[in-house]
Amino acid sequence: DATPLGPFEDWAGQWQPVKEVSARAGVPMLSLGDQAECIHIRETGCVPWLRSRIMPAGGAAWADVFAEVHPDVEERFTMWNQMANLRYINTGTRIDYVICDRETFQDCLVRCPSSCLAGGRLPAAVAGPAATPSS
């Protein structure tokens, strides 16, 4: 299991010098900000509450649709502290949650190979008669 803040989990809730964040992330200090600044590593208060409702994946009453459909995707952060340039080290908070109840998720999920996504033709067995292309 990946930790919410990845390699910065042990710094959660703390101010860390840019120099130390730079060294751990392998990002030049100039990309992060002034050397004398500190970066506060944390996730917003709602994140632990939300995770408690959707974890464990596949077993909670609510489903994080993206995370369960794409379980191997890492670095899902979609909002970063721009003042600290945290985009460069990909430390931030997801704001793109799509949540639904487990029963709806199970009833509506369509599993197919990635080759049938993004404009590819769906097999008739998956797509049903309405999605079968007509010539």
pLDDT (0 to 100) of residue 2: 46
Residue 52 DSSP SS3: helix
- For residues 36 and 18, give the distance between their C-alpha atoms in angstroms, rounded to a whole number: 7
Structure confidence at residue 97 (pLDDT): 81
pLDDT given for residue 129 in this prediction: 47
